[in-house]
Amino acid sequence: MATAGLLLAAGAGRRFGTPKALLAYRGSLLVEHAAGILTSAGCDPVVVVLGAAADEVRARARLPQVVRNDAWPTGMGSSLRAGLAALRPTPAVAAVVTLVDMPGLTPAAVRRVARDATAGSLAVAAHRDGRHGHPVLLGRDHWTGVARTAVGDRGARDYLRTHRDRLRVVPCADVADGTDVDRPEQAGLLDA
C-alpha cells in the first residue's frame, strides 16, 4: 500500500525576504532537499505545493509532481487542501505531510511516522522535549475532514487535536531535528 509524500512549500518567507523554497542548502535548494527526503523514504507519489515565486522555484528546482496554490497568501491550510486534492486520484492510502523549512528532517523519521500506514492512520512526530511536529501522517479516511478544518496557518492542527484519541505519537528525536527555520538568525542551520 502506497504512502504519498506531501511537501508544503508555498509560503513567501517574509522574514527571510525570499520564499524558503528558494533558500540554498547543501549545494541545491531547500525545496529539492525536502522533496528528496520524502522520495528517499519511499513515498510515492511525492507532491510539492508551491505558491509564492512558484514559477521561479519550478525553473530553478528539479522537483517531482508540483501543484500550484494561488491561494497561498491565506496560509498553510490552503496548501494542505490543494495537496490533498491532488492526491485523491492516486492509490495512496495515506500521506506524509511535511514543511519545506525543516532541514533536519530525515528519511528515517518519515519512514518511522509512515510505518504500517492505513487509510485510518493518524500519526505525528515527537521531537525534543516531546514537542509534536512534522512529519504528520494522514490516512486517506481523514483527508476530507482535514481539508474542511485546514484554514489559515493551522493546517491539520485542529483536526488532530479533535482526534487525539486516534493519534499515534512517534518519537523521532533520535533520528531527526524538527526545528523549523523561521527567522533569519536561524540561517546558519542551513549550512549553505
Q: Residue 123 sits in which domain range?
A: 3-176
User: Domain of 152: which CATH number?
Assistant: 3.90.550.10
Residues 6+ apart with CB under 8 A from 31: 7, 9, 20, 21, 22, 48, 50, 57, 61, 63, 100
Structure confidence at residue 186 (pLDDT) = 62
Mean pLDDT by 10 residues, the chain (192 residues): 94 86 91 97 98 97 96 96 98 97 95 97 90 94 97 92 96 90 65 52
Residue 110 lies in a domain: yes
Residue 108 lies in a domain: yes
Structure confidence at residue 30 (pLDDT) = 94
Residue 9 lies in a domain: yes
Contact 184, 15 (CB under 8 A): yes
Structure confidence at residue 192 (pLDDT) = 45
Residue 56 lies in a domain: yes
Q: What angle do CA 87, 89, 95 make, to 5 degrees?
A: 30
Residue 192 lies in a domain: no
Structure confidence at residue 103 (pLDDT) = 92
Structure confidence at residue 183 (pLDDT) = 66
Structure confidence at residue 64 (pLDDT) = 94
Assign 3-class secondary structure to 19-85.
Answer: CHHHCEECCEEHHHHHHHHHHHCCCCCEEEEEECEHHHHHHHCCCCEEEECCCHHHCHHHHHHHHHH
Residue 185 lies in a domain: no
Residue 80 lies in a domain: yes
pTM as predicted? 0.95
Domains held by the chain: number: 1
Structure confidence at residue 1 (pLDDT) = 64
